[in-house]
Amino acid sequence: MAEHAICWPLGTQAEAEAPQLCQRRRDAWTLGGNVPPTFAERDARLWSAGRERFEVDARTGLRLSGECARPHDVRSTEIARWPALASPWLPARERAASRLPPLSPDCQPDGRDAVEELRIEGLNDLATLARAPGSEHGVRLQLRALGTDARVQWLLDGRWIAETRGAQAFQQDFTETGTHQLTALADSGAWTRVRFNVLR
């Protein structure tokens, strides 16, 4: 058994990582020298190790894609991402350190923004809902999307119902009984969906 400084959000040994990947350092006891990394994002459609490597313009810090119209002084860098469900408890500085820098305006879109893992807070997948006895309105929920600072479009059964930005919350009444799907689509390309049933 040995004590090691652990690097968060990756969950790896701090001395093995670049400084920008260690947003927090915590001491931990390990067995046999094993330091398990942070678990993959729960219910993620694609597994991710939590680190993103990319190239930036060394002067502006803007992200570069494979196709850019102007020449750039290229520098390779990487960031470590926190799980989306942790975002409400993170200070703005750590949320910013986990975001990809904006794409240089002369570069073609690279699809990297879609790596964001979006989560819906306020409604669990496969939930069964019922309005309170004597209530004059349907099931009323407060909902928000976690894991992005972008604009988010909300669809109920494929129909648009709301627009929010980042973790901004909105309130929605669900009056129609039956099975429904709620989808959150971020401008970055990230999306998620939950299915639920309204009894009354």
CATH of residue 193's domain is 2.60.40.10
143 and 172 belong to one structural domain:
yes
Of 35-39, 75-79, 125-129, minimum mean pLDDT range: 35-39
Q: How many structural domains compose the chain? A: 3
The mean pLDDT value for 104-108 works out to 95
Instruction: Average the pLDDT over 2-11 and give the result.
Output: 87
Q: Considering the chain, what is the average pLDDT of its residues?
A: 86
Residues 33 and 85 in one domain: no
Query: Same structural domain for residues 96 and 147?
Result: no
Q: Looking at the structure, do residues 99 and 80 belong to the same domain, yes or no?
A: yes
22 shares its domain with 80: no
pLDDT score, position 3: 87
Tell me, what's the pLDDT at 130? 92
pLDDT digits (tens, 9 = 90+) for 40-88: 665 554 445 678 899 999 999 999 999 999 999 999 999 988 877 676 6
Considering 75, 90, 112, which residue would you say is the last residue of a domain?
A: 112
Regarding whether 187 and 138 lie in a shared domain, the answer is yes
| Same structural domain, 127 and 194 | yes
Distance CA(16)–CA(37), nearest Å, equals 12
Same domain, 185 and 168: yes
Report, as an integer, the average pLDDT of 144-158.
Answer: 90
pTM of the model: 0.56
Q: What pLDDT score was predicted for residue 145?
A: 94
> Read out DSSP for 98-159?
TSPPPBPTTB---SGGGG---EEES--TTEEE-PPTT-SSSEEEEEEEES-SSEEEEEETTE
In single-letter form, the type of residue at position 200 comes to R
Handedness of CA 26, 30, 36, 41 (dihedral sign): negative
Residue whose tokens read 């190239």: 55
The domain in which residue 9 lies consists of 1-38
pLDDT for 114 beyond 70: no
Higher pLDDT, 142 or 40: 142
Whether 125 and 107 share a structural domain: no
